């Protein structure tokens, strides 16, 4: 189900950016496809895992922010990674870099869970291949390679010198910062009963709209873009792996 619904999401995002579909139409079709698969026995490992995935993706669809930039979508690249070994792949999105021409950034939509440790570098090989392919077959230079982590969101607040960002699951982001919110409400001298009542409701709704203005105005959400660092060591490891 992850593969099928992941492909569905990729296709929908592409159609939205090509102005072939609006988010409302896509959301309806996406939900119908999910129901169809489950009725045909294509299920999540468990109900709780399925509910969590649906909540994360549902939040993404309900809060869809269309990136305001020109981009090339699903670009087919074929290149020679080493003597006689050719690879081909489709890059999700190529966007102009803040550095200006000839620099670009590569985005890869991800509907899977976040990567860590060994899995981070395994997943990073795909992004590295896109970079090598684009630089070998065009005059472009790749500034950044990034994952757009669909299931996650950055919960942002202004620190003393810079913005603090916490990566949270979209479907339960309020729950994941509850302790922080509780601490702030105690600082504002709300009593325990009121704190519990308001935070229980905020967690249930997965929204802080019901909280006091002093707290609500401190937080905002941003889409979760994770940059993968490029090094010569990683590129050499990729070539050896291939």
At 83 the pLDDT is 86
pLDDT above 70: percentage of residues in the chain: 100
The CA distance from 199 to 212, in Å, is: 11
Domains assigned to the chain: 2-62 (no CATH), 72-150+224-241 (3.90.320.10), 152-223 (no CATH)
The CA distance from 217 to 223, in Å, is: 18
The CA distance from 155 to 214, in Å, is: 16
Q: What is the pTM of this model?
A: 0.90
| Contact yes or no for 223/148 (Cβ under 8 A) | yes
Confidence of residue 235 (pLDDT cuts 50, 70, 90): very high
pLDDT digits (tens, 9 = 90+) for 136-180: 999 999 999 999 999 999 999 988 889 999 999 999 999 999 999
At 151 the pLDDT is 96
3-class state of residue 91 by DSSP: strand
The secondary structure element, H or E, covering residue 72 is strand 72-82
């Amino acid at each position: 189900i992850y593969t099928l619904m992941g492909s569905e999401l990729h296709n929908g995002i592409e159609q939205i950016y090509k102005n072939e579909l609006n988010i409302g139409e896509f959301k309806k079709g996406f939900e119908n496809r999910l129901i169809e698969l489950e009725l045909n026995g294509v299920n999540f490992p468990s109900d709780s895992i399925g509910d969590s995935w649906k909540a994360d993706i549902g939040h993404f669809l309900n809060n869809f922010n269309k990136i305001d930039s020109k981009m090339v979508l699903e670009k087919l690249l074929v290149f020679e990674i080493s003597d006689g070994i050719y690879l081909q792949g489709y890059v999700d999105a190529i966007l102009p870099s803040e550095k200006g021409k000839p620099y670009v950034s590569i985005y890869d939509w991800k509907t899977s869970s976040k990567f860590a440790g060994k899995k981070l570098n395994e997943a990073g090989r795909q992004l590295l291949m896109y970079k090598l392919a684009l630089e070998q077959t065009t005059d472009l230079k790749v500034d950044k390679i990034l994952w757009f982590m669909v299931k996650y969101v950055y919960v942002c607040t202004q620190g003393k010198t810079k913005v603090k960002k916490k990566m949270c699951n979209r479907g339960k982001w309020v729950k994941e910062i509850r302790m922080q919110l509780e601490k702030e409400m105690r600082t504002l001298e709300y009593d325990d009963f009121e704190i519990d009542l308001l935070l229980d409701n905020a967690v249930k709704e997965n929204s802080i709209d019901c909280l006091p203005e002093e707290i609500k105005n401190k937080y905002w959400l941003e889409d979760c873009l994770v940059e993968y660092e490029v090094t010569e060591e990683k590129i050499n490891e990729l070539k050896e792996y291939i």
